[in-house]
Structure 1
Amino acid sequence: MERYEGKKVVIIGGTSGIGLATAKMLVDGRARVLVTGRSQAGLDSAQKELGNDALVVSSDARSLTDIDALASRVKAEFDTFDLLFVNAGFSLFAPLENTTETTFDEMFNLNAKGPFFSVQKLAPLINQGGAVVLTTSTANIKGMPMIAAYGGAKAALRSFARTFAAELLPRGIRVNAVSPGPTETPIIGKAFPDKATADQLMAQMREAVPMKRFGKAEEVAKAVLFLAFDATFTTGAELPVDGGWSQL
């Protein structure tokens, strides 16, 4: 029997980066996996990488209408499932004086509001003894310039992890968070306004990390799966996967 055979998993934000790496490990372990994404190119690419053993669904993690539709789709495909990995997230860089209401709302809708209602709508379908893993960030505990709205939204998500853990405890559902530091994913390049700025800020981040490198998506995925299936006496916790950045 393969490692995850018989398990059913939903990954919100699973068509690239950490979400896709996690999905690939699960599919390789014979789990049934449903991943979501927004762009058609990302959906097509993920389906090609994951093969026919995975369901790749178009869903906007910011939209309550899409979240309701996703819950209905999961119910139809899986009935119940074992792991909800809420991974969709993105950072927009702007100093305090240039942060607009639109940017602020975008950061909170994607990184806090969407995850809140995703758990609300999908938790009733999670099996007794199942798990929820949320993707937070080192930005929720470090004062990092230019990402105030993102850091605040991720701090809210960290708080949700504790409250969700307390509320879902009677059903034996564990809720934890994985907190990545700088990670090599396609989204890194998109987050910066131009290549020169990207190169400068990425070099600064690499130097700031005690291990002097970016993490790999697969390294974070292993932590997600640990929290989901192996850390059976752990709930309400946040596991940093950041090369020591938040700890040293």
Structure 2
Amino acid sequence: MARMAGKVALVVGGAKGIGLAISQRLVAEGATVFLTGRREAEVESAASSIGPGATGLVADASVPQDMVRVVKEVQQAHGRIDALVLNAGMSEPARLTEETLDHVERHFAVNVQSAVFGLQAALAAMGNGASVVLMGSIADQGGFASYGTYAATKAALRSYARTWTAELTPKGIRVNVVAPGPTDTEMMAAVPEEARAALIAPIPMGRMGLPSEVASAALFLLSDEASYITGAELCVDGGMRQV
């Protein structure tokens, strides 16, 4: 099926990992996709690997002016944004006694500020029927040692999704969250086997998720098939948080 045929999508943080999988899936479903990333080589490689349905734009999602520029480029090319994925994120461990101001500020700048000002910039290009997906995490309700700041940023996104649903539903714009559990991305491949086993142990399905599985959840929420779903959080975690 071409569930996104004729739609224009912007995937912020779409050059690698889960963001790239989402970009690939959106193009496969008929969308015209603009994807962003900070590193020019990664952005160009991602867009090239997807093909003519994708355009790469180099931008730092934590810099509001970059997001304004990106939205203007999409508007100049197609006039609107029908689907917006706010996927920029970072995660570096630090226990409470190890936290620094820089550590906290960088996490909130990349994980939260990018979503706030990314959506703010995109609103001018979004209209009735548009959909937004925020990339959350099952960490938003958990207590994972050394990942307190990361989890707090994801909890902030979950809260924003509720508020933005209240504010944007009258405009016909839906806002939802996709919350992955441990996902087998390139970054996760570098994790030692013992640590991987510890991550997998509490997952009822006995394995990590795949980026393509997270992309399927995002596609559903962005598509018209989810036309009566807004303000929700869809966990893609093999049952980890539920069980």
TM-score bracket for this pair, using the shorter chain length: over 0.9
Number of positions where the alignment pairs a residue of Structure 1 with one of Structure 2: 242
Task: From the two aligned structures, give the one with the greater strand fraction.
Answer: 1
What residue in structure 2 maps to residue 211 of structure 1?
205
Further displaced range: 130-139 or 63-72: 63-72
CA gap of 1:200–1:14, structure 2 versus 1, over 3 A, is: same
**Distance in 1 separating the partners of 2:71 and 2:44:** 21
Q: How does 1:153-172 map to 2 (within 5 A)?
A: 153-172=153-172
Q: How does 1:72-83 map to 2 (within 5 A)?
A: 72-83=72-83
**Distance in 2 separating the partners of 1:172 and 1:162:** 15
1:242 lines up with 2:231 in the alignment: no
**Distance in 1 separating the partners of 2:112 and 2:86:** 11
- Encode CA deviations 1:149-187: one digit per residue, 9 max, x unaligned: 110011001101111111101111110000000001123
TM-score by structure 2 length?
0.95
Q: Post-superposition shift, 1:121?
A: 1.1
| Matched position secondary structure for 2:36 | strand
Q: Post-superposition shift, 1:189?
A: 4.7
What residue in structure 1 maps to residue 218 of structure 2?
224
| Matched position secondary structure for 1:57 | strand
Further displaced range: 111-120 or 62-71: 62-71
Structure 1 residue ranges (4+ consecutive) displaced by more than 3 angstroms after TM superposition: none
Identity of aligned residues (%): 39
- Encode CA deviations 1:15-46: one digit per residue, 9 max, x unaligned: 11111111111212221110001112311220
Over the aligned positions, Cα root-mean-square deviation in angstroms equals 1.4
Contact 2:81 2:122 in 1 (8 A): no
Q: Post-superposition shift, 1:236?
A: 0.5
**Distance in 2 separating the partners of 1:2 and 1:173:** 21
**Structure 2 counterpart of 1:9, one-letter code:** A
| Matched position secondary structure for 1:183 | coil
Contact 2:35 2:47 in 1 (8 A): no
Gaps of 5+ in 1: none
**Distance in 2 separating the partners of 1:155 and 1:108:** 11
**Distance in 1 separating the partners of 2:71 and 2:103:** 28
| Matched position secondary structure for 1:144 | coil
**Distance in 2 separating the partners of 1:19 and 1:148:** 23
**Distance in 1 separating the partners of 2:32 and 2:228:** 25
What residue in structure 2 maps to residue 185 of structure 1?
185
TM-score by structure 1 length?
0.93
| Matched position secondary structure for 1:55 | strand
Gaps of 5+ in 2: none
